[in-house]
């Protein structure tokens, strides 16, 4: 640690961690788990208070952080993949008053997602999926992780029919009743809620979106190591690795929606010594082998810290180009009649 970083002291300070969702949800629980651990590792052991600023599909909280946070190390923000997508696809719109390009990540990490079929709908394997017609599934939003499943299935050549803006729990209940043939979930929810149905032979996980490998490839999700990644599933169905225009855009979305699903950032202009202090403290806090709760908090996937987090975040922003926005916007309208 540099001499300047060693001089940073938060004794007696109160730090805010802004979260753009309501209290009690998964994102809020993650933020509170990080706040509790990070405060103990920062010099001076400050209190970190989680401030929930929900609304606008996570936009309100991001706007608040952009406007109110000062570069003094006393305000943090929990960034989400939805913030990257909103700033790309809704750039210039009045409600978007934030720009992630200036945010300074101190940690970031992926989340895992799985697509399942069911006995009641007759899709219990990838082979069933390849032959199925009018494959319906509910997605909570147009600009979210569901976009990865919609584009991925279309690239596979599946006769897929996503229904957008369906609440996640409603989509799962519809799947269990046979109204939808597929169900997409976070892996955390799948492990916690759906595993008993898998064990009963009622639900069949088909593939995970996967996780970023060390060489930039897509690898299996460590939380469900026996389930193929999307790339593997494509090859199982087609006998060759995925390629083509749709997969190229799927890969670019992967960096923003999966590899940088969530993170903790400081505002633009934060002094380097403060950034360095935070980066070291959060890495120590979230890699403590004596902390039995970390696996539950972070999941099975590796997290990024310090410069690695900033490089991953910067690459994701670089991949979300105006060209990608134009292509995805056109594809959604032509393929599904959805207008962003």
pLDDT at 5: 62
**Digit-coded pLDDT (tens) for 226-271:** 999 999 999 999 999 999 999 999 999 998 888 888 999 999 999 9
Task: Find the largest Cα–Cα distance for the chain.
Answer: 64
pLDDT of residue 91: 82
Check if CATH label 3.40.190.10 holds for domain 113-255: yes
Q: Give the C-alpha separation, 86 to 64, whole Å.
A: 15
Q: Tens digits of per-residue pLDDT, 266-306?
A: 999 999 999 999 999 999 999 999 999 998 888 878 899 99
Sequence ranges of the domains in the chain: 3-110+260-324, 113-255
Same CATH fold assignment for domains 3-110+260-324 and 113-255: yes
Architecture of domain 3-110+260-324: 3-Layer(aba) Sandwich (3.40)
Spatial separation of the C-alpha atoms in residues 67 and 55, rounded to whole Å = 16
Residue 281 CB coordination number (10 Å): 21
Q: Which residues of the chain have pLDDT under 70?
A: 1-5
CA neighbor of 255 nearest in space, from 218, 301, 300: 218
**CA neighbor of 213 nearest in space, from 242, 255, 180:** 255
Q: Which tokens in the block code for residue 80?
A: 């989400």
Global model pTM greater than 0.85: yes
What is the pLDDT, as a whole number, of residue 158?
A: 97
């Amino acid at each position: 640690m540099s001499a300047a970083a060693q001089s940073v002291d938060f004794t007696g300070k109160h730090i805010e961690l802004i979260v753009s969702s309501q209290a009690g949800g998964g994102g809020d629980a993650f933020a509170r788990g990080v706040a509790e651990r990070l405060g103990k590792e920062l010099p001076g052991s400050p209190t970190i208070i989680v401030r929930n600023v929900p609304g606008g599909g996570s936009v309100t909280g991001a706007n608040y952080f952009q406007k109110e946070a000062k570069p003094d190390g006393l305000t943090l923000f929990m960034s989400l993949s939805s913030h990257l997508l909103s700033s790309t696809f809704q750039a210039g719109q009045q409600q978007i008053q934030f720009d992630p390009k200036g945010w300074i990540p101190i940690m970031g990490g992926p989340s895992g997602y799985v697509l399942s079929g069911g006995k009641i709908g007759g899709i219990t394997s990838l082979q069933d999926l390849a032959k199925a017609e009018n494959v319906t599934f509910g997605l909570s939003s147009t600009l979210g992780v569901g976009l990865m499943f919609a584009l991925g299935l279309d690239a596979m050549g599946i006769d897929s029919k996503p229904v957008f803006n369906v609440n996640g729990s409603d989509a799962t209940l519809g799947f269990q009743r046979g109204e939808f043939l597929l169900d997409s979930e976070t892996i955390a929810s799948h492990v916690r809620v759906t595993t008993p149905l898998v064990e009963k032979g009622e639900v069949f996980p088909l593939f995970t979106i996967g996780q970023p490998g060390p060489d930039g490839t897509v690898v299996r999700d460590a939380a469900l190591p026996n389930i193929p990644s999307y790339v593997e599933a494509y090859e199982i169905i087609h006998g060759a690795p995925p390629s083509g225009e749709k997969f190229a855009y799927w890969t670019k979305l992967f960096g923003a929606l999966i590899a940088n699903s969530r993170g903790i950032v400081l505002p633009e202009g934060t002094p380097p010594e403060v950034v360095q202090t935070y980066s070291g403290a959060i890495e120590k806090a979230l890699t403590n082998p004596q902390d039995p709760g970390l696996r539950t908090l972070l999941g099975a996937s590796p997290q990024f810290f310090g410069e690695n987090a900033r490089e991953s975040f910067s690459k994701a922003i670089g991949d979300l180009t105006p060209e990608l926005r134009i292509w995805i916007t056109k594809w959604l309208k032509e393929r599904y009649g959805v207008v962003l």
